[in-house]
A = this chain, B = another copy of it.
Amino acid sequence: MRRTDRLFDLIQVLRDGRLHKASDLADKMEVSVRTIYRDMDSLVASGIPVEGERGVGYILRAPVFMPPMALTQTELEALHLGAALVRQTADVELQEAATRVLTKIDQAMPEPMFRALDGFGKEIFAAPEVAASFQNMPVIRRAIREQLTLLIDYTALDGSHSRRCIRPLQMEYWGRAWTCTGWCETRDDFRVFRVDRINETLIPGDRFASEPGKTLMDYLKRFTPS
């Protein structure tokens, strides 16, 4: 058990991206130089990109190294959304970096989690400009994810209230406010709701299936100039 801990500590030390002599590491770890050499072998065997050069010392090839860490489903969603935003706003270099990171993370994920996220980033439309936080957004996101019918109490711009049953399809960010696009069962047509004008949300529990004419794709087709 001591050895396991020492290997972890060695990584921590090497993380600074600087050069380290085996003798220094031996002093710090309070073991012999020979043991350090053996530990380095173990690290290399474990796939850690540590390199040693004669007469120079040891250094990490990839300077940043993330230890094993646990992520919740929501944190994963945050990473996906963040990457989607970066892909949209930043320069090519950062775009590609964001994609690479996401690929690495996704590959490290077990199947069920990956499924639950499928298309999440894509369903978010965002133009980052102003901060907006609304209470019912998590509920809406969950409804989109799990294809759950949503009952909302809505206040239109003219002040009129209405209760609607919708199939939430996508969320959009318009710079000033978030909206939710969905198929409105009440009006039997697509509608866009400003999230800050949704007073109440309720999930009855029934799941809706994708019906031709009521999907996100069908909605997008409307935005084609005649």
Binding site for B on A (CB under 8 A): 1, 3-5, 7-8, 11, 15-17, 42, 45-46, 48-49, 60-79, 81-95, 97-98, 100-101, 104-105, 108-113, 121-135, 137-138, 141, 154, 156-157, 162, 164, 170-177, 179, 184, 187, 191-194, 220-221, 223-226
Contact = CB atoms under 8 A, between A and B. Distances in A.
Given A63-B73, A91-B137, A179-B223, 15 more contacts: A4-B7, A15-B110, A16-B110, A16-B111, A48-B70, A49-B70, A63-B112, A64-B109, A69-B104, A78-B83, A79-B79, A82-B83, A87-B131, A127-B171, A156-B225
A123 B68 contact: no
B92 A81 contact: no
Given A64-B76, A98-B82, A88 B225 contact: no
Nearest to A5: B46
**Which label, helix, strand, loop or mixed, suits the secondary structure of the A interface?**
mixed
A42 B123 contact: no
A68 B71 contact: no
A138 B91 contact: yes
Given A90-B137, A172-B172, A193-B225, A72 B78 contact: no
B126 A129 contact: no
Contacts of A94: 74, 77-78, 81, 137-138
A71 B82 contact: no
B176 A93 contact: no
B8 A88 contact: no
A69 B66 contact: yes
Q: 4 closest pairs, A vs B, by CB?
A: A82-B82, A91-B137, A192-B223, A122-B175
